[in-house]
Chains A and B, each alone.
Chain A
Amino acid sequence: MTEWHVEGVESRLDHFRLGPIDLELRPGRAVAILGSSGAGKTTLLRTLAGFLPVRRGRIVRDGVDITDWQPEERGLGYVPQGLGLFAHRTVERNVRFPMELGYTPDANARTAALLERFHLTPLRHRYPARLSGGELQRVALARALAADPELIVWDEPWQALDVQARHELGLVLQELRETDRVPVVVVTHDPSLAFSIADTFLVLDQGTVRWQGDAAALIDHPTDPFAARFAGYENVYVRTDLEVDRTDPLALWLSDRAGDRGVAFARPVVAATPHDPPPWEGTVQTVRPTPEGVAVRLHAGGLLVAVQLERPWTGPLPTVGGRLRFRIDETTLHPLGGNLSRVGRGT
């Protein structure tokens, strides 16, 4: 089983600078790389895979410095965005490709086993153009495993997949971690799947690490606006949001309790019959039933606040344009910012 250490790696693509990045990849662990478009997620994966030169820092595989190794020497299964399947080869010959590069005595048996494992045997004579999104993902994964990788690096695995296919792929990736014990690095925009397979999260913004830590820490100490939104906080306000209107009491109250990059808090629960009148009031914008209860968006001063109605809600449902009072528990506020890019147990 292989361990990978990414130590202070920096790279560059034209004018875009990435890094420094520190990561530890252990067998059976999965890291999710998060960030908005242009944050440098793909650049990081291509640097790990050896397609962009490392300007500073090093990549170590089991104690061996492989920073300057060619992509084909790294033993790393890179699945690019769009999967990179070979349109001119059938499913079977796509999966077989890594074994055709050198002498592989049991190539037939191994290909057959991989096809069977990923439920591709009935599709083995088809070309990629005739497969569904979920089938293509399975081919890409089977082909990556055919090269016996020591690390799987996957860019946007769930792109353009329907709900069922996403769910199935999530299970396949989990199995990959648990059975094959191959460490996995995925880039994704999808929080629920990221939480279902990854144990470590790294948030990139403009090429630098904004946040890094495990799932529990992402929920308890997001410290970065993007990380907070990804963790599921609906009320995330950066400093500039709070400073738009300096006469707004809610914005001022939050501003006093915010970190240098803003503040985040979960949807406050509005009680049907409060003991004393809650301090804040807003105009109802939307009312949406959810499995957790009725979610309401309010315009309170200059801010849009998401709240949730207590269950069971005894009074009449709020109507759009009506007024609703709410309370924000000060202990649920998460100040964002500070030098807290590394939180929790790490990798």
Chain B
Amino acid sequence: MAAPASQRRWRAGPLWLALQLVLSGSLLLLFLLPIYALFTYAPLSRFVADANNPQTYYALWLTFYASGIAVLAAVLFAVPLGYLLARRSFPGRSVVEAVVALPVVIPHLMVGLGLFLLVIPGTPLYRWTTSLGIPIYDTIWGVVLVMVFVSAPYTVLASTLSFRAVDSRVLEAARSLGAGPATVFVMVTMPLALRGIVAGLLLTWARAVSEIGGILILAYAVYPGGPYNGPVTSTISVYVYDLFQLGDLADAAAVSSIFLLIAFALFLLVRLGERSGWLPWRRGELGP
């Protein structure tokens, strides 16, 4: 006699559950163990020494400064492109979409090389940027340029999806209630799409701060110029890479841990802001 459906499910359950736990658990371990290793390798005294080292300070500052500019650039350029791709149909849209995906698939060392070839002395871009007083090679602008190249696609993709997810009937209802197209965009479309766009910006920021391949070629050492006036430095990833190359494993691990602590704290702040409703973009989902 066949067992009732509920019993059959219970019999198949434990094996299936165990398999799922083993498979996903392995992957989670892979994610967590290297971070554990980073945090536990260096003695506490090295953490203190590195946290007080001006070199660490300037590398961190440059990294957050440049990635901040890259996120602003994404807001300014990538969000409108996302809106365009979501709301307008035009000939060649699929080509534009393919171009947006390009930076994700190109190895980033080659991105750096390509940008380098564009801005070396003698090129039109070199003459134009130097005449404007914004040199690219080995400056913060070089770092920003690489960061925008590799990270802006995440904001374009996220905002395209978010704008597309806004029900056009909601927008029509808003129009009919007396709001013009610009008002509808500000009061309805943006608030409804904001959560997805912010998620895209967070991804963009995370991708920007972790970039090293392109920066190694275009801005290995960052000289003062543009908005950066400190001593010669490099991004945090390049700095850690240098320490590693010198065989200084303890400092490399300690500096990495300091950076990760700050990055985690920032993510946590954003999440808490969302949960508490202080940041507006998840209101309505979490509220009463």
Q: Which A residues have a C-beta under 8 Å from some C-beta of B?
A: 46, 49-51, 70-72, 74, 76-90, 97-98, 100-102, 125-130, 143-144, 146-147
Q: Is the CB of A87 within 8 A of B284?
A: yes
B223 vs chain A, min Cβ distance (A):
46
> With the chains together, A50 CA to B283 CA distance in Å?
31
In the A-B complex, the 10 residue pairs with the smallest Cβ-Cβ separation, listed nearest first, are A84-B173, A78-B176, A80-B169, A71-B175, A127-B284, A98-B177, A84-B170, A88-B191, A88-B284, A87-B284
B248 within 8 A of A: no
> With the chains together, A82 CA to B170 CA distance in Å?
8
Per-residue CB contact flags for chain B residues 163-191 toward chain A (1 = under 8 Å, else 0) read 00001011111111111100100011001
> With the chains together, A225 CA to B192 CA distance in Å?
44
Q: Is the CB of A127 within 8 A of B177?
A: no
Dominant SS among interface residues on chain B? helix
Q: Is the CB of A129 within 8 A of B172?
A: no
B39 vs chain A, min Cβ distance (A):
39
CB closest chain-A residue, reference B281: A88
Dominant SS among interface residues on chain A? loop
- Residues of chain A with a CB closer than 8 A to B172's CB: 46, 49, 51, 71, 78, 80, 84
Q: Is the CB of B192 within 8 A of A87?
A: yes
With A78-B173, A84-B173, A101-B183 as contacts: A127 and B288 at CB distance below 8 Å: yes
A-B contacts counted at CB < 8 A amount to 91
The listed residue (A49, A130, A147) touching B178 by CB distance below 8 A is A147
B13 within 8 A of A: no
Q: Is the CB of B176 within 8 A of A86?
A: no
> With the chains together, A74 CA to B171 CA distance in Å?
16
CB closest chain-B residue, reference A148: B178
Q: Which residues of B from 107 to 160 have beta carbons under 8 Å from A?
A: none
Q: Is the CB of B178 within 8 A of A101?
A: yes
> With the chains together, A43 CA to B169 CA distance in Å?
13
With most chain B CB atoms within 10 A of its CB, the pick from A70, A81, A83, A101 is: A101
> With the chains together, A50 CA to B175 CA distance in Å?
10
- Residues of chain B with a CB closer than 8 A to A82's CB: 167, 169-170
With A71-B175, A72-B175 as contacts: A85 and B288 at CB distance below 8 Å: no
B288 vs chain A, min Cβ distance (A):
5
CB closest chain-A residue, reference B191: A88
A selection of 11 A-B contacts at a CB cut-off of 8 Å is A49-B176, A51-B172, A51-B175, A71-B172, A72-B179, A78-B176, A97-B177, A125-B288, A127-B285, A130-B287, A144-B177
Q: Is the CB of A74 within 8 A of B176?
A: yes
With A72-B179, A87-B192 as contacts: A80 and B173 at CB distance below 8 Å: yes
B233 vs chain A, min Cβ distance (A):
42
Q: Is the CB of B174 within 8 A of A127?
A: no
Q: Is the CB of A76 within 8 A of B176?
A: yes
Q: Is the CB of B176 within 8 A of A71?
A: yes
With most chain B CB atoms within 10 A of its CB, the pick from A71, A97, A98 is: A71
B104 vs chain A, min Cβ distance (A):
30
Q: Besides A77-B177, A98-B178, A127-B287, 7 other CB < 8 A contacts?
A: A79-B173, A82-B167, A84-B171, A100-B187, A101-B179, A146-B177, A147-B176
- Residues of chain A with a CB closer than 8 A to B178's CB: 72, 98, 101-102, 147
- Residues of chain B with a CB closer than 8 A to A72's CB: 175-180
- Residues of chain B with a CB closer than 8 A to A79's CB: 173
> With the chains together, A143 CA to B170 CA distance in Å?
13
> With the chains together, A147 CA to B284 CA distance in Å?
23
- Residues of chain B with a CB closer than 8 A to A89's CB: 284
> With the chains together, A101 CA to B284 CA distance in Å?
21
B195 vs chain A, min Cβ distance (A):
9
The listed residue (A71, A88, A130) touching B288 by CB distance below 8 A is A130
- Residues of chain B with a CB closer than 8 A to A49's CB: 172, 176
> With the chains together, A81 CA to B283 CA distance in Å?
23
- Residues of chain B with a CB closer than 8 A to A86's CB: 170, 174, 188, 191-192
B119 vs chain A, min Cβ distance (A):
43
CB closest chain-B residue, reference A49: B176
- Residues of chain A with a CB closer than 8 A to B285's CB: 87, 127, 129
B164 vs chain A, min Cβ distance (A):
16
Q: Is the CB of B180 within 8 A of A127?
A: no
